[in-house]
Amino acid sequence: MHHQDLLADYALFLRNLVDVSGVRPLHVVVDAGNGMGGYTVPAVLGEAAGLPRLPLTIDEMFFELDGSFPNHEANPIDPENLVDLQKRVLEVGADLGLAFDGDADRCFVIDERGEIVSPSTLTALIAARELAKHPGSMIIHNLITSKAVPEVIAECGGTPVRTRVGHSFIKAKMAETDAVFGGEHSGHFYFRDFWRADSGMLAALYAIAALGETSEGTTMSSLLKSYDRYASSGEINTEVVDQEATTLVIRNTYGAGAGIETDDLDGLTITAPTWWFNVRPSNTEPLLRLNVEADEVAVMEQIRDEVLAIMRGGVS
């Protein structure tokens, strides 16, 4: 039997993809959630694998590998699991925070104010940087990412490609189109240079590189402002007995208005000039999932509440 430790090779490969050796000094809080990030972060961002020291101060949270997840669930899409990280970022005055899920294929970012950065915003940032390296490339985004994502891709000279939600659809479309990058609102980020697989660590390196290349005093929130353009509800799950009938009621309520477009790529998407929403059924539970986005917060809240009233009222 032959044993080979690939951690150093892995860390070096990622560092070569996104070079952060020349960034300005940054203070980064990392919540590994007692998952694999606790094993890989010290190698990639630190010196555990014998690589040169980076200009980063890493504040470690829950790096001990423990499958019982004693501190909180290793699922950063749930805001409750980010509370400890948000608090720590503010306590130490960090430049940003990073949260990984259990296998570290997802990454969420916290800005210097302790606010959660939308994965759509991070998708737009990474897309812009990938297009700077690979001009004119295709970029994949799923249909519940912010409409800012395809806007940024087009503004940077790329071609946005819209897909259904789910890693299998993203990966298949990346292979079909040779897209350089793909992002999902769930915090999954896929890279052609990483065998079209999702990598939370690569997404983290992009966030660090983007901030670290700015002038002293630039904050994460100010860096991301141009990518964070619209008001979003986030995904809201509602238990519905008859998903199909309820979706039909929503279609009949919204689908015939002036200037309205509908599509059925994944569930039902209704698009108006200043707002859009998507309702799609869960494949495993009696749930409908709602995502709403609008130009203004008040409009988003109005559409959100109206659609939720239909979903929660059910269909007799």
CB distance 62 to 34 below 8 Å: yes
Q: What is the pLDDT along the chain (316 residues), one digit of tens a residue?
A: 988 889 999 999 999 999 999 999 999 999 999 999 999 999 999 999 999 999 999 999 999 999 999 999 999 999 999 999 999 999 999 999 999 999 999 999 999 999 999 999 999 999 999 999 999 999 999 999 999 999 999 999 999 999 999 888 999 999 999 999 999 988 999 999 999 999 999 999 999 999 999 999 999 999 999 999 999 999 999 999 899 999 999 999 998 888 999 999 999 999 999 999 999 998 888 899 999 999 999 999 999 999 999 999 855 4
In whole angstroms, what is the distance from residue 96 CA to residue 211 CA? Answer: 9
Same CATH topology for 119-213+223-227 and 231-313: the answer is no
Name the architecture of domain 231-313.
Answer: 2-Layer Sandwich (3.30)
Q: What pLDDT does 313 receive?
A: 86
Q: What pLDDT does 314 receive?
A: 58
* Residues contacting residue 11 through CB under 8 Å, at least 6 positions apart: 40, 43, 44, 49, 51
Q: What pLDDT does 316 receive?
A: 42
CATH number (3.40.50.300, 2.60.40.1510, 3.30.470.20, 3.40.120.10) of 119-213+223-227 reads 3.40.120.10
Is 61 strand, coil or helix? strand
Tokens for 13, please give them.
């490969």
In whole angstroms, what is the distance from residue 96 CA to residue 107 CA? Answer: 13
CATH number (3.30.429.10, 3.40.120.10, 3.40.50.620, 3.10.310.30) of 7-116 reads 3.40.120.10
Burial 135-163 (b: 16+ CB within 10 A, else e): eebbbbbbbbbbbbbbebbeebebebbbb
pTM of the model: 0.93
Tokens for 289, please give them.
């999932």
The residue ranges of every structural domain in the chain are 7-116, 119-213+223-227, 231-313
